[in-house]
Amino acid sequence: MTLLSEVERPLALFTQGLSNRIPIFHSSEQLHSISGSDLCELFLPNEFDYFDESSTNRDAYRWLVMQQLGFRRYDTLSFSIQHARSVIEYLAMQPMPTAHRAPDLELFYQHFPVRDLASYLFYVLEETRVANLIVSEFPGAQRLRHQYQTYRTHSISVLDQSPLAEMMRLEVALQSPDRLPPLYLALVSPILNKRATVYSSAEATVNCYQAFFANLELDVAEGTDGELQDTVELTTLQRAARLEDWKEELHDVDAQLMAMSFDEDLDAKQSTSEDALDGSLREASVDLKQERDQLQRRIDMEKSHLAAYENQHIVGNPHFRYDEWDHLHQTWLKAWCSVFEIREDPVTQDSASELMKSIRPLVPAVRKRFEQVKPLGMRRVPRSLDGEDLDINAIVEARADLHAGLTPTEHVYVRVEKKQRDVAACLLVDLSASTDDPVVSPDSKHMPEDEEDPFDDPYLHGAINFDPDQAETETPRKIIDVQKESVLLLATALENLGDLYCVYGFSGYGRERVEVHVAKEFNESLNRRAINAIAAMKPLRSTRMGPAIRHATHKLLATGSALKVLLVISDGFPQDSDYGPDRSNHEYGIQDTAKAIHEAHEKGVQLFCITVDVSGHDYLRRMCREDQYWVIEDTEELPDALQFAYRRLTS
């Protein structure tokens, strides 16, 4: 086995020699601190162990580097969907996919009924075109290419029984272009020309797709995702490339703003009147600042997508894909959002102990309150042979039988037996950045911001602090603290009640990285690890609520319980960096979340939303029915509200 960390330094020098740029190898830990505009991001496996000899595994790494640099050098990553639609008739006949800020290659794949098949086909064909150009420019790379093809052939041979065997055979055949069968030669001829471009590969992709998969049903392609994901996605490389371009643009804009700031300072010194400043200069500066902010948001979003790629392909967290509702075009975006399950890391013993200490005085009252739910899990069985009470109706009938000379029944008792509760609940906690805000009392919310407290006068009782110890103030409680206490309180009651339940937190980092943090699963008890994980929950980023609700619904359905309950605890409206084309407009996220709630209801999930956002009525009433949400103005009321909602849903 050869580890990437073992060959990282020579690979970096190899990359710099070919491209004159410093590489960042994703999955490495040594070069991430480097910054600058002369970087290029490459995606390599953590280890390579196919060949027996370490030197051959190192050669495989070198070929992967040359291949990814070739995608940059030979214009793969400059692919434009608009130009492709203008030169390829099949694409022009298809409707333009609706995707917010997606790379052009992603838009190309979405022109096909099965996106993953089109993606894999294009990769195979474009890889061949680029490899031919690499070998033509660097003849010494032929040996590296041949060795790597040996590995690829071995990987493909295990799929001979797959419905996709024809495409696999095409990939093997492309390794010997001189001996291509006539059928394949006719389909891939565009990429064999010395002047072939990335659009030649797109044309060949259309030819092969129509020849092999025109009549392929969508369900046949289900489950092929694992077979088709053994290479880096070109859309990820295109994202990395355009991220580099945007960083360079941001650098140029920052330089212009700095120059303008210098000019404004100079004008201000030369003029005694503010009005004398050049208005056109100030206006241009404002426009540049807006452009800079937009660029920064794009860069942040692309970084989140690349981080999601590392999570999915390198870290190996459980990964799920869900559709998203695009209300602007009234259509479903298939497999649009990636949800990653992440196990909460345990925190120190002190943090968990503080959390337990804060709820300990409330636990007896909560447990007593939930004991009232237990009788609902009992049932009276009349006409029993024995039992705790007499069955009056059965006794009357027995007396009537005696008077009639008939043998009376002996089943004159009522037996009370326990009826097994079959409940599964998911406590879904919003971990957006806003949950880091301090808890505000209702009175202070209504106080005008510009109105000073008349008793808050440092000179009212003298300017000298006679008691320094009293000046120390406690750390203000935050919304996330109240959420964790509320969830843990309810969890202790559910442990005593015996219901299945899980505790998840969710946060959004763009559609490719929606995180669901697992503090406790259905089949786990509320042990020390689970308590530590709840205590470890912390504010993260955005509130992409739709995918989180769909994932929680999926997990609830998998329990097979008769009654399925989903409690969503939030502090604001659904929003994320790419939750719709305009981040400042929240309608897109509200409509998608409303669809997710409707889907959950149709699948038999009892859903209830609780928010501490006082403006929650404005959007919650458009997302769900009046009896499906509760807006509380005082955050400290959250524990009682959560318990009341659960008892009502499960009664």
Q: pLDDT for 288-343, tens place per residue?
A: 777 777 767 666 666 655 555 554 443 445 678 899 999 888 988 888 888 888 88
Between 216 and 435, the more confident residue is: 435
Decide if 66 contacts 147 (C-beta within 8 A): no
What's the pLDDT score for residue 456?
Answer: 44
**pLDDT value, residue 550:** 95
Share of the chain above pLDDT 70, in %: 73
Q: Minimal CA–CA distance to 241: which of 61, 87, 21?
A: 21
Burial 141-163 (b: 16+ CB within 10 A, else e): beebbebbbebbeeebeebeeee
A 10 A CB-CB count for 295 gives: 18
d(CA 328, CA 150): 48
DSSP labels, 150-165: HHHHHHHHTTTTSTTH
CA 317 – CA 307 distance, rounded (Å): 12
pLDDT at 156 > cutoff 70? no
Least confident range from 111-125, 257-271, 370-384: namely: 257-271
CB atoms within 10 A of CB 38: 12
- Cα dihedral 610, 615, 617, 619, rounded to 10, equals -90
With bands split at pLDDT 50, 70 and 90, how would you rate the model's confidence at 433?
Answer: confident
pLDDT computed for residue 431 by the predictor: 92
Decide: helix, strand or coil at residue 86. Answer: helix
Region 380-408 average pLDDT: 86
Answer whether 225's CB lies under 8 Å from 115's CB: no
Spatial contact of 513 and 308, defined as CB atoms under 8 Å apart? yes
pLDDT at 428 over 70: yes
Q: Confidence band (pLDDT; 50, 70, 90) for 88?
A: very high
Record the pTM.
0.55
Which range in 176-180, 444-448, 556-560 is most confidently predicted, on average pLDDT? 556-560
Contact 605, 565 (CB under 8 A): yes
State mean pLDDT over 151-157. Answer: 61
pLDDT for position 608:
92
Res 55: pLDDT: 86
Q: In this structure, what token pair is assigned to residue 383?
A: 């006409």
Q: Which helix (H) or strand (E) holds 42?
A: strand 39-43
- What is the pLDDT, as a whole number, of residue 441? 60
- Give the per-residue pLDDT at 233: 65
Average pLDDT for the chain: 77
Confidence grade of residue 216 (pLDDT, cut at 50, 70, 90): low
- Between residues 455 and 70, the one the model is more confident about: 70
Say yes or no to pLDDT of 480 above 80: yes
What's the pLDDT score for residue 217?
46
Q: Which of 95-99, 205-209, 333-337 has the lowest mean pLDDT?
A: 95-99
In angstroms, rounded to a whole number, what is the distance separating the alpha carbons of residues 508 and 419?
Answer: 41
Residues 6 or more apart in contact with residue 596 via CB below 8 angstroms: 325, 545, 546, 547, 549, 550, 553
Q: Which two tokens stand for residue 349?
A: 């013993």
DSSP code of 542? B
Paired with 319 in beta bridges are 340
Q: pLDDT value at position 85? A: 93
Residue 131 CA to residue 139 CA, distance in Å, equals 11
Strands (DSSP E) contained in 331-390 are 331-343, 378-384, 389-390
173 vs 524: which has the higher pLDDT: 524
For residue 479, give the nearest of 574, 336, 307, 612 by alpha carbon: 612
Rounded mean pLDDT, 40-66 = 82
The residue behind tokens 């020579």 is 10
Question: How is 429-440 classified by DSSP, letter by letter?
Answer: EE--GGGGSBP-
User: At 606, which helix (H) or strand (E)?
Assistant: strand 605-611
Confidence of residue 215 (pLDDT cuts 50, 70, 90): low
CA dist 415 and 198 (Å) reads 78
Block residue for tokens 């979405």 = 110
DSSP 112: S
Closest CA relative to residue 117, chosen from 41, 38, 220: 220
Confidence of residue 198 (pLDDT cuts 50, 70, 90): very high
pLDDT at 48 over 70: yes
Residue 331, CB half-sphere, CA atoms under 13 Å: how many? Answer: 10
> What pLDDT, on the 0 to 100 scale, is given for residue 199?
93
Q: How confident is the model at residue 227 (pLDDT cuts 50, 70, 90)?
A: very low
Residue 515 contacts residue 340 (beta carbons within 8 Å): yes
pLDDT tens by residue, 3-24: 877 888 888 888 888 887 766 6
Q: How far is CA 61 from CA 17, 45, 132, 231, in A?
A: 15, 9, 18, 13
Residue 611 pairs in a beta bridge with 570, 631
Tell me the pairing of strands 389-390 and 2-3.
unpaired
Q: Which two tokens stand for residue 648?
A: 């009502």
